[in-house]
Structure 1
Amino acid sequence: MSQILIVEDDMIIAANLSLQLTKLGYDISGIVCKGEDAIDHVQKNHPDIVLMDINLKGNIDGIDAAIAIHLKNEVPIIYLTANHDDVTFGRAKATQPYAFISKPFNKINLQRTIALVEEQIKEKEHHQKDQVLDNLEVLDDRIFVRHNGRMVKIMLDQILYIEAERNYCNIITKMGKFLVVSTLKTLENSLSKSSFLRVHRSFIVNVSKLDAVADSHLEIDRKVIPISKTYKEFLMERLHMI
Structure 2
Amino acid sequence: MRLPSTERLSVLVVEDEPLIAMHLKLCVEAFGHKVCGVAATADDAIELGLTHRPDVMLTDLRLRGGTSGEHAARVLFETIGLRAIFVSGNLDPDMRAQLSDLSPIAMIMKPFGIQEIERALSLVRPPPQS
Mapping of residues 78-227 of structure 1, within 5 Å = 78-116=85-123, 118=124, 121=125, 185=128, 188=130
What amino acid is aligned across from residue 67 of structure 1 in structure 2?
A: R
Would you say the 8 A contact 2:58–2:84 is kept in 1? yes
* Structure 2 residue corresponding to 1:41, chosen from 48, 53, 77: 48
Unaligned runs of 5+ in 1: 126-184, 189-242
Which residue matches 1:53? 60
5+ residue gaps, structure 2, are 1-7
Same amino acid, percent of matched pairs: 27
Point out 4+ residue stretches in structure 1 off by more than 2 angstroms: 57-60, 84-87
Aligned Cα RMSD in Å? Answer: 1.7
| 2:82 aligned residue | 75
- Give the structure with the larger helix fraction: 2
Return the offset for 1:76: 2.0
Equivalence for 2:5: none
Q: Shift in Å at residue 62 of structure 1?
A: 1.0
Pairwise CA distance, 1:87 = 2.5
TM-score (norm 2): 0.85
Amino acid across the alignment from 1:5: L
Deviation per CA, 1:19-48, whole angstroms, max 9, x where unpaired? 121111111111110011111111111111
Aligned-partner residue type, residue 38 of structure 2: I
Superposed displacement of residue 59, structure 1? 4.6
Bigger Cα Rg: 1
TM-score, scaled to structure 1: 0.48
Distance 1:58 1:84 in 2: 20
1:57 Cα deviation after fit = 2.8
Native 8 Å contact 2:61 2:88 kept in 1? yes
Determine the C-alpha separation between the residues in 2 that align with 1:58 and 1:101. 23
The answer to which structure has the higher strand fraction is 1
Alignment correspondent of 2:10 = 3
